[in-house]
Structure 1
């Protein structure tokens, strides 16, 4: 695999980051902790005024200033609507995005918490209600600068980049490309089956690691870095332990999320047929993301298995499984909610 250049975090020494923070008008007392983030560089800092903040240094060349500021505006709008998110502060210069010696950063208040207990139906209902509130704000207007996930285009772009950059070993590239092309056709067919699909401003990357829980306040969202326009189910399916097909646990968890969601907003059940296409698109996109970032020394250290022939053969097998999962069913997917449904555990869900 050809390594891509490091789009450079090389100058982000502790001293540089503290100097950058000082330039924003926020004085740190020297205590800092680097937080887990591969895409950006994120650190927790204690300020001299007693506050604790999170400073994010954006990866160069990933987003334009306009895209970042649109993300910030969405977070600020959500916070104003009392949707619990970490919204960025306005920094010296009057903007939420600060430029310092070729780097860009934003600062938010620290909002602590732990991962949510996703096996607890009430926790899932609460998250569902919160997502419905987020989407209600998201429907007020559309993004003008952020990406849109409403077709197979993101998967196609990821596939094209991997092939053009010869990121896949020659012995596995034909099999992977064949599976990826067929998956992209199935993804597009799924979106084409919903020509009147409503698109909404979304969190975009709503996996459990981006939801923090506190016993008194419940869940709150962090990291809107991947906010997109798309169908609301994109913010639901990553909360599940796996595909709903053949998994009682996944179906029960989806039902609990939707129970909470529909207390606050309507959900179009037809979007359930997009879960596996969206999962497949993320798989292709994830492979391209790792390949694009391979020049960053953090990636080979964290993902030593990536790029090997075994990795790509596993991906071929997974994509072929997704082809089966995406095959159109005789009837659109639904969650049983009637009296004739078989109840697995007494909670009314089949």
Structure 2
């Protein structure tokens, strides 16, 4: 059984996030004792059991409680989101839960979901277990399609003000600058890397222009298989940390490994909500944006000690050589 956890743009996901670099070691003071003290400050009684969950962007712990089910404590990366942006995430999660969608929403304490302790911001949510979905199953894909359609119906009721949107600046320009400013990319590759990313940027702009205006709405934003947990009762979604404004197809394409899978997702989706099939032409652009962003995310976070340990390959010139090759191959797919 897997646990509900925050992926936070981690390995294999890339995330859609602001690439700020405010602190050299943002979690240096986040000791187990501080975590337990933060839980106690909410009026809960930890039993001393702590399990660090697989998260890089934020820090997430499963905390055992005396005579109660464990909770998930998510400590937000300092400087990434404003309080207002985090509260928009919480509000959206609660709207989805109120609509009886299987989404894990933060738990309020004294009417507040965004909590503060000793300089850290955090939120607590119920622990929900589950396993990875079977993306080979048409039935499961149709089920997911229906749930995403319902999520989008709720998401379309309002707009994010503080969380931004999926666009070329945050997904291409900022990540490129982060890579060029770090010491990971060998100096001799700077020009080739810049040329590859600029080619991607040009093609992405052309593809969005060719598709024309598409409706944007509040999205999960990082709806990959690691953020869907399946139980005997069905799936539930976790980790709205990358929720943004964007086109509906963003929450579908990462779950579809081929055309058959996308057909199954859309079979479920369109049974609940209309879908603009013109958005399918955006998938190569969205995939390329994510690929650029992934490298920029690692570069921007390299000062965090967790990143060299988790992504040692990024310190190897051969990985950047392959990354540049991959960007050109990605561009070839939709040039």
TM-score of the superposed pair, with normalisation by structure 2: 0.90
Structure-2 change in CA distance of 1:91 and 1:224 (3 Å): same
Match of 2:109 in 1: 91
CA shift, 1:9, in A, is 0.6
Matched-pair contact (CA < 8 Å) for 2:147–2:269: yes
- The Cα offsets for residues 182-236 of structure 1, whole Å up to 9 and x where unpaired, read as 1001111122223321001000001100000002x21110000000100011111
Match of 1:284 in 2: 292
| Segment drifting more, 191-200 vs 62-71 | 191-200
**Residue 223, structure 1, aligned to residue 231, structure 2:** no
**Residue 62, structure 1, aligned to residue 80, structure 2:** yes
- The Cα offsets for residues 65-117 of structure 1, whole Å up to 9 and x where unpaired, read as 1110000000000000011100001124x310011111011001111110001
Comparing both chains, which one has the higher relative contact order based on Cα–Cα distances under 8 Å and sequence gaps of 6 or more?
2
- The Cα offsets for residues 295-314 of structure 1, whole Å up to 9 and x where unpaired, read as 11111111110132111111
Match of 1:199 in 2: 216
Equivalent residues in 2 for 1:87-236, closer than 5 Å: 87-92=105-110, 94-151=111-168, 153-165=170-182, 167-215=184-232, 217-236=233-252
Matched-pair contact (CA < 8 Å) for 1:131–1:235: yes
Equivalent residues in 2 for 1:215-294, closer than 5 Å: 215=232, 217-241=233-257, 250-294=258-302
- The Cα offsets for residues 128-159 of structure 1, whole Å up to 9 and x where unpaired, read as 11100100100001100102014455211211
Alignment length, in residue pairs? 315
Matched-pair contact (CA < 8 Å) for 2:141–2:264: yes
Partner SS state of residue 54, structure 1: strand
Matched-pair contact (CA < 8 Å) for 1:35–1:42: yes
Matched-pair contact (CA < 8 Å) for 1:151–1:191: no
Partner SS state of residue 239, structure 1: coil
4+ runs deviating over 4 angstroms: 150-153
Structure-2 change in CA distance of 1:11 and 1:71 (3 Å): same
Partner SS state of residue 192, structure 2: helix
Q: Which has the larger radius of gyration?
A: 1
TM-score of the superposed pair, with normalisation by structure 1: 0.87
Match of 1:324 in 2: 332
Partner SS state of residue 193, structure 1: helix
